[in-house]
Chain A
């Protein structure tokens, strides 16, 4: 094989790789799902402590709401989720129905809500074509003396 042929072969291979990638993109689509047994959803809902975990989430669109008894003024949030695709949000309202937190689920990060009214809080998870796993922990917290 001469030099010219080898060059052509190289370019053909590069072009073929690009073409496969380009064609593959519109060829795939995933139907929207809801959470099921495969997602191993576990909720721990205690006074002053709340945790939700779920895994194997694949293109899920759903809303999950919980009431949680928080004796604290605010909630400390421990994010350990991983949701690379879609939009997954956490919304927290206090006993006065004020929104204290509205943000995306994060990977390995500490956060906190705004200060609010202790009592029965509302915790809502909104999943929109989400992929990944959820692990969020809330703990009652008070400002330091």
Chain B
């Protein structure tokens, strides 16, 4: 049942940070058109999260006999608007009443100023602009999403919420980078957290299990948890909507050793270090058939941690969801897919964060589940706004990175033998043209070569080589070249595990 999906998950787990995160659409072709699918709302997802399925709960009622008010919830515009205001007022109140921040002293004069003065790229830190703003946007998104609106209707709310914040909730002038990071990053993060929070919920559960599920869901999606609480839904027993459960889900945890070598100035200065490395990948939905369903029916979240080192613990964080897909042939072997992504990379070669739209062709060779199977991907990557760390720029505030749009390509090839041996090659190239910061252009590349062997349904081992390079072309300052190479050995844990029945030798 799960074979197709798990194969896809394995391949995802094997992709390099930059490549894997950019190849969501490519997975669509892994599954054959006639591949068996898991039907119904509750396949394996609760178990993946370490939670019992609905049927395991002694107090659970037969789902078929329960009403399902969440299946088609009413649209509550004023409640959504109140939530959005709450999301704005909470941080503003903290900064106004507790920390007495001058930027929070808003009023009619500050509103007039923000209307009259030009927009200014702000100089906040990378963390504030590239993490906190998308998270705030996710809360705006879920103000609507958890009040009955679908993805597309909810997608407007982060933009509206961001404009409200920029104009009315702070004294600082509106910043274009804040608008993009909040509006676009908020959609990606918002729908991801919305779906994960719904996956955590189980309306049929009672008692302690129900409590912990509600708490877990609220931690993932606080505004959604707040709405369930005030509507009295946290204790109400009812059926789970089918859309709360993905058609498939898989997590893969890699733990291992990483040898890192980095160089500056075309190898003139080279240093190396030994690091531990942990990587987790969550693949939600069926990457073949869910791509063309509602947005984010298929998405991937990936996080990479490594240490010790001078780049920080978090090396990579990506969230990428499907928006739409079009089959080019009746068998679905060739597909054009569109996705929306939020990316963060931090390695010795470059630090980068941004939002992008990806469109491209994905083709399958052979058939999944048979002896050989392969896949190729040719994707166009349009970066709406990227933040690339600068070697020279330092604002009067905490900003030390350049902002600009960008273009890139993503090329990938993978092959799988009997669902046991797996090989992956991938390349990602990205060009960022700075429009605020140092007058420059940044060229960033990532190359991956990986081999992986699955010894059982749950355990595998692998090794990989990843190379990152950066060339920063500064107009009036010396250019900078930097690269980093990783050789990685790891043990993989598949959660909940690979399906039985894969053709192995």
Chain B residues whose CB sits within 8 angstroms of the CB of A13 once the complex forms: 77
Q: Which of B115, B153, B172 contacts A25 (CB 8 A)?
A: B115
Give chain A nearest CB distance to B200 CB in angstroms: 27
B173 contacts A84, CB within 8 Å?
yes
Give chain A nearest CB distance to B143 CB in angstroms: 12
Chain B residues whose CB sits within 8 angstroms of the CB of A106 once the complex forms: 396
Chain B residues whose CB sits within 8 angstroms of the CB of A82 once the complex forms: 102-103, 171
Q: Which of B102, B103, B167 contacts A21 (CB 8 A)?
A: B167
Is there a chain A Cβ closer than 8 Å to B454's Cβ? no
Is there a chain B Cβ closer than 8 Å to A24's Cβ? yes
Chain B residues whose CB sits within 8 angstroms of the CB of A85 once the complex forms: 113, 117, 173
**Chain B, interface SS category:** helix
CA distance A21 to B161 in the complex (A): 12
Is there a chain B Cβ closer than 8 Å to A28's Cβ? yes
Is there a chain B Cβ closer than 8 Å to A138's Cβ? no
Mark contacts of A57-72 with chain B using CB atoms, 8 A cut-off: 1 yes-contact digit, 0 otherwise: 0110000000000000
Give chain B nearest CB distance to A71 CB in angstroms: 29
Is there a chain A Cβ closer than 8 Å to B163's Cβ? yes
Is there a chain A Cβ closer than 8 Å to B160's Cβ? yes
**Chain A, interface SS category:** mixed
Give chain B nearest CB distance to A79 CB in angstroms: 9
Residue of chain A at shortest CB distance from B174: A25
Give chain A nearest CB distance to B177 CB in angstroms: 16
A interface bracket (residues with beta carbon within 8 Å of B): 20 to 34
Known contacts A85-B173, A104-B396, A131 near B117 by CB under 8 Å: yes
B396 contacts A29, CB within 8 Å?
no
CA distance A29 to B114 in the complex (A): 10
Mark contacts of B139-172 with chain A using CB atoms, 8 A cut-off: 1 yes-contact digit, 0 otherwise: 0000000000100010011001001000100011
- Chain A CB count within 10 A is highest, among B75, B77, B113, B157, for B113
CA distance A73 to B153 in the complex (A): 63
Interface residues in A1-35 by Cβ distance below 8 A to B read 3, 6-7, 9-11, 13-14, 17-18, 21, 24-25, 27-30
Instruction: Report the 6 A-B pairs with minimum CB-CB distance, sorted nearest first.
Output: A28-B115, A82-B102, A28-B116, A85-B117, A84-B171, A84-B172
- Listed by A's residue number, 28 A-B pairs whose Cβ atoms lie within 8 Å are A3-B75, A6-B74, A6-B75, A6-B77, A7-B153, A10-B75, A10-B77, A10-B153, A11-B153, A14-B160, A17-B160, A21-B167, A25-B115, A27-B115, A29-B116, A30-B113, A30-B116, A58-B113, A82-B102, A84-B103, A84-B113, A86-B117, A106-B396, A107-B102, A129-B117, A131-B117, A132-B171, A133-B102
Binding site for B on A (CB under 8 A): 3, 6-7, 9-11, 13-14, 17-18, 21, 24-25, 27-30, 58-59, 82, 84-86, 103-104, 106-107, 129, 131-133
